[in-house]
Structure 1
Amino acid sequence: MSILCNDKKTETGPSARARLFGLVVSCTLGLGSGLAAAQTAPVQAPAIAPAAASDIAAPALFDAIATRAQKLAKRDYAPIEANIPDALANMDYDQYRAIRFRPEAAIWHKESLFELQLFHPGFLYREPIVLHMANDTPDSFVQFKQEFFSYDGPAAPLAGVAPNNIGFAGFRIHYPLNSNDYKDEFVVFQGASYFRMVGPGLAYGLSARGLAIDTAEPKGEEFPVFREFWLIKPAPTDTRVVIYALLDSPSITGAYRFEIMPGAPTEMAVEARLFARKDIQKLGVAPLTSMYMWGENHTRFVDDFRPEVHDSDGLLMAASNGEWIWRPISNHRQLRVSSMLDENPRGFGLLQRDRDFDHYMDMEARYEKRPSMWIMPEGDWGKGRAELVEIPSDSETNDNVVAYWVPAKKMKAGSSATYKYRLRSFDDHLPENVGAKVIRTRIGWGANPGQANPPPVSKRKFVIDFRGGELENLSTDSPLVAELQKSSGTISELSVRQLPDGRTWRASFKLEPEGNNVADMRLYLKLRDQRLSEVWSYVWYPDAI
């Protein structure tokens, strides 16, 4: 099946929607249950009884949560009234960072390979979540206790401020990922439906989300939240852990199952059972959220010593027809939304392909260690599109890139849907993608040095370098050519040549746009009738310069 590319220009700009991390919330569900009162006691982990049965033998819990979500969808949405003192709600970033969970109080401490630590409510995280333990009792809550936390430095005045029933802002999971002697933090659930995950040797970067609703739509984005979690205690030697969650939002509810498998790479099996309260204009399944400020394809001067600043540098899609499609990310002047159509895609994700420190030169951020994330759909996802949202940004503290799957069939009020997929956190290497890959994209003025009567600056030269696969086995005189398609504009000087390293091949061409028309381009390398590379897919906007 052919893959079509299209672009939608939205004039409203980022001010018409909530900042992706500016609306981070995490709420409790008020359905006749609450957090038990805290007790004053020495620092210790909550007493948690082992699960009555393995998760494989206990699918009834997930069914019960799904039934609860389905019933909840038939009610009007009820926002949560936060029970948080002003001193916690108004604390600043430094104060929040100075509140630390005591490791010895971790859930499952010294009882499993996994340990779970909790986040204090406050700062941006003002509506705490409810944590349940799935054990032999009818219900068991993890209770908030002041002694779970140390209030250091600027946070010292906040000790004792939190009420006993305040709950938690989220949690993180630890596991001996990089060493047997230390349990690394490798998964975090905190804020709305956001979560992050890393594998060995990687540092946190982009985030995943449970669901995206109406992203980049003129009416504004809706941010679903995980209101409650159910934690299943792993056995002492288990190498995977299972967590359930209840999602709620004005337009939709959902029950989620996360089976988390740390390793090289770290993976997560996700099942989402969704129930629509209202008609949904745009449903974003398996959303990923990242940051891109500038990189090799940037066309405007940046007054910064760092050559590149980004958590991700491209969207990769494994289409159902066998193509691998790479679309580099940009930081545009306006909000841009582009998409790739398909039916039952094999996978998609946001990647950080550039792993060279010299391309970032940032000793604090270490962008070369940021993870890539890959979504592998399971079952019948049907027709739809992988959508990429690029939001103008002037700060690397703001996430401004979103990617997700939009089903062609819209959810209507009262309808339900189930999506299953695996989420993989890795560096830049996908073993399934065996062909040559785009390693960099550069763009500049299409004039030749010293050219008399040079062309207008709107004429651009594109340079795309490929490496890997069979390219490294070709001689310099191999008849390698570039196949290029475009939606508009005039192409000239299309050529392919081997670079001096003997491993990399460069495709280059010049584009003369047609007025203010957008140019949607696709290019790949082939040797006679054999395709040797993934597809380079790029949308050029005339206002980029």
Structure 2
Amino acid sequence: MTELFLPALRACASRLSAAGLALACALTAAAPARAQQAFDFYDLSQRAKSMAGESYKAPASTLPKELRDLKFAEYQQIQMRREKYYWAGSKTPFQLVFNHQGMYFDLPVKVNVVDAEGVHPVKYDPADFDFGGRKLDPKLLQDLGFAGFRLLYALNDGGKRDDELASFLGASYFRMVGKGQVYGASARGLAIDTAVPSGEEFPRFVEYWIQRPSSADKHIVVFALLDSRRVTGAYRFTITPGEDTTVQVRSRIFLREPVAKLGLAPMTSMFLYGTNQPPTGPVNFRPELHDSDGLSFHAGNGEWLWRPLNNPKRLATSSFSIENPRGFGLMQRGREFERYEDIDDRYELRPSLWIEPEGDWGKGRVELVEIPTADETNDNIVAMWVPETPPKPGEAFDVNYAMRWTRGDAKLIGPGLARIEQTRRYAGETKGADMIRRPDGSTAFLIDFSAPADAAAPARKKAASKQPDPVSLSFSTNGNADVLENSLRRNPATGGWRVTLRIKVKDPTRAVEMRAALVSGQTPLSETWSYQVPANETAE
């Protein structure tokens, strides 16, 4: 019982009967608990439902030109003063730091803090920020508001609560890191009409409620209100930092109007080039350049699929129809520094982002959108779940899932299954009788699989038993390529298996789709490699 309620309790005790005192004590003791529930998911979902029945009010930016025209490096100079961090003087293990508006972050968001005493709106004060030596007229900054916020925590060794854990900034974007990670892929609250000719709509988190953690809490709860022309939504994020940072997401969505494509649990990333798509321009010192190198998903029928990413010449969309997905995500499998050689941006430390649906999501598709980009500053990859039957306007649509920001994604693959370690694409060639390799006009691929655990023991006994290897290759195409080579052999350097493919595209205006997997009879021994050679471009 807190000291706040003790005076009232002593006063009522002097004039109440024993029975009345017992009742009063019970009610008074319950008061802090009720105060803790000053704001919850029900309150937020009711507000989202109410807004869905109202006309949409588009926000207007009041950001002055002096802040709107900033370059990214200039915007980064605007920082909240350390002594003004919202929980700077408290014992909570988290710090709350606000982002100032600037550049294309030009719309304010409301931020509230929820504690045992109720809901407290956080007031914007330009004096809380260091503008990097920039002299700005105070009148220009009046009532501007925040663009977003960051959460800090003692995530890495050292025990100081100043490691950046999470950032909520721009539309409905947010991103997290775990121990030893650096920012890479981003998540979104919702995607609407991504890669649809009519154009994409970007819902925004317009208001946040952040529960103040106690000194013993190892997690923090953030509520967010989503709004756009055709949708509203209520979100609760329970964020638990650690080796992997995990987030339990509860959301309830209301449509104002029908949408062509509703993207759930969407995420974005960057892929410029890699071993499966070498750079075509000037050679960079970095052998690979990407935040994520593939899409992975675990289908409801148990199949695991791996799709290496492309940076296409034209927008490309791939759909994988499944029922009740068990998980999907944009992954960064290349963990060796030598793959990137970048001591500044540390791409080998970028987290994979994995989604695990709660409950059955029914029929739908995992959709991958790949957008052309010429540099690493643009997120050009989108992955999301698209339900076969979207909700009707006005009805509540619940979507709950867990997120994992991890560098240990190898542990996610089903036990015993071989994992695809790399995909290499190059100009096909043949070796002549003179032992010289000569290009033959084909497109070639090397796919390295790790060793299937189930097949390892029989394979070791192969020489003694003189039985054939229990591993074979299942391979197929969509018919738009002549297959010149399709071979499987052991990789003595890794203990795994190597697939060599050579193909010639029949109709370059159509994409080539290929699938390959290790099997023993009809039993899968690996995840399935799924690859697309986009239309209207060569893969050499």
Q: Could you state the TM-score of these two structures normalised by the residue count of structure 2?
A: 0.86
Whether 1:510 and 2:492 are equivalent positions in the alignment is: no
Deviations 1:474-498 (A, max 9, x none): 4486342111122113324321112
Structure-1 separation of matches of 2:485 and 2:381:
33
2:131 to 147, 151, 154: 151
1:173 to 142, 151, 161: 151
Whether 1:163 and 2:156 are equivalent positions in the alignment is: no
1:230 paired residue number: 209
Structure-2 separation of matches of 1:174 and 1:77:
34
2:23 paired residue number: none
1:439 paired residue number: 421
Alpha-carbon offset, residue 511 of structure 1: 2.0
Deviations 1:265-289 (A, max 9, x none): 1100001100001111000000010
CA contact (8 A) 2:206 2:224 kept: yes
> What does 1:424-503 correspond to in 2, within 5 Å?
424-433=404-413, 434=415, 435-450=417-432, 457=441, 459-470=442-453, 474-475=459-460, 478-488=469-479, 489-503=481-495
Structure-2 separation of matches of 1:344 and 1:376:
11
2:526 paired residue number: 533
**AA paired with 1:327?**
R
2:13 paired residue number: none
Structure-2 separation of matches of 1:301 and 1:88:
37
Instruction: State the SS of the aligned residue for 2:430.
Output: coil
Alpha-carbon offset, residue 531 of structure 1: 2.2
Whether 1:82 and 2:71 are equivalent positions in the alignment is: no
CA contact (8 A) 1:295 1:307 kept: yes
Structure-1 separation of matches of 2:492 and 2:274:
23
Structure-2 separation of matches of 1:113 and 1:526:
49
Structure 1 residues 92 and 462, CA gap change in structure 2 (3 angstroms) = closer
Structure-1 separation of matches of 2:298 and 2:44:
33
1:522 paired residue number: 515
Instruction: State the SS of the aligned residue for 1:169.
Output: strand
Alpha-carbon offset, residue 133 of structure 1: 1.8
Unaligned 5+ residue runs, structure 1? 1-50
Structure-1 separation of matches of 2:381 and 2:132:
35
Structure-1 separation of matches of 2:38 and 2:117:
17
1:306 to 264, 286, 289: 286
Structure-1 separation of matches of 2:236 and 2:249:
6
Structure-2 separation of matches of 1:397 and 1:386:
25
Structure-1 separation of matches of 2:34 and 2:406:
27
Alpha-carbon offset, residue 55 of structure 1: 10
CA contact (8 A) 2:292 2:332 kept: yes
**AA paired with 1:178?**
N
Structure 1 residues 516-525 or 435-444, which shifts more?
Answer: 516-525
CA contact (8 A) 1:52 1:136 kept: no
**AA paired with 1:531?**
P
Instruction: State the SS of the aligned residue for 1:104.
Output: helix
Aligned positions, number: 492
Whether 1:354 and 2:334 are equivalent positions in the alignment is: yes
1:407 paired residue number: 387
2:180 paired residue number: 201
CA contact (8 A) 1:375 1:423 kept: yes
CA contact (8 A) 1:377 1:422 kept: yes
Structure-2 separation of matches of 1:145 and 1:215:
36
Which protein shows a greater Rg?
Answer: 2
Structure-1 separation of matches of 2:253 and 2:127:
38
Alpha-carbon offset, residue 510 of structure 1: 2.0
CA contact (8 A) 1:226 1:245 kept: yes
Alpha-carbon offset, residue 526 of structure 1: 1.9
Alpha-carbon offset, residue 168 of structure 1: 0.6
Structure 1 residues 123 and 60, CA gap change in structure 2 (3 angstroms) = closer
Deviations 1:402-432 (A, max 9, x none): 0000000023322331100000000142424
Structure-2 separation of matches of 1:305 and 1:381:
44
What is the percentage of aligned positions where both structures have the same residue? 40
Whether 1:382 and 2:362 are equivalent positions in the alignment is: yes
2:83 paired residue number: 104
Structure 1 residues 445 and 87, CA gap change in structure 2 (3 angstroms) = closer
Whether 1:294 and 2:277 are equivalent positions in the alignment is: no
1:122 to 79, 99, 102: 102
Structure-1 separation of matches of 2:512 and 2:38:
50
Structure 1 residues 425-434 or 326-335, which shifts more?
Answer: 425-434
Structure 1 residues 270 and 299, CA gap change in structure 2 (3 angstroms) = same
Structure 1 residues 418 and 97, CA gap change in structure 2 (3 angstroms) = same
Structure 1 residues 529-538 or 242-251, which shifts more?
Answer: 529-538
Alpha-carbon offset, residue 86 of structure 1: 2.6
Alpha-carbon offset, residue 112 of structure 1: 0.5
Structure-1 separation of matches of 2:396 and 2:487:
51
**AA paired with 1:481?**
S
Structure-2 separation of matches of 1:127 and 1:500:
57
Unaligned 5+ residue runs, structure 2? 1-29, 464-468
CA contact (8 A) 1:244 1:255 kept: yes
Q: Could you state the TM-score of these two structures normalised by the residue count of structure 1?
A: 0.85
Structure-1 separation of matches of 2:237 and 2:33:
15
1:3 paired residue number: none
Instruction: State the SS of the aligned residue for 2:120.
Output: coil
Structure-2 separation of matches of 1:293 and 1:111:
43
Alpha-carbon offset, residue 161 of structure 1: 5.4
> What does 1:2-401 correspond to in 2, within 5 Å?
58=37, 61-109=40-88, 110-135=90-115, 139-153=119-133, 156-158=134-136, 160=138, 162-183=140-161, 184-298=163-277, 301-303=280-282, 304-401=284-381
Deviations 1:133-156 (A, max 9, x none): 224566421011223222224xx2
Structure-2 separation of matches of 1:119 and 1:243:
16
Alpha-carbon offset, residue 56 of structure 1: 12
CA contact (8 A) 1:126 1:169 kept: yes
Structure-2 separation of matches of 1:398 and 1:163:
29
Alpha-carbon offset, residue 462 of structure 1: 1.8
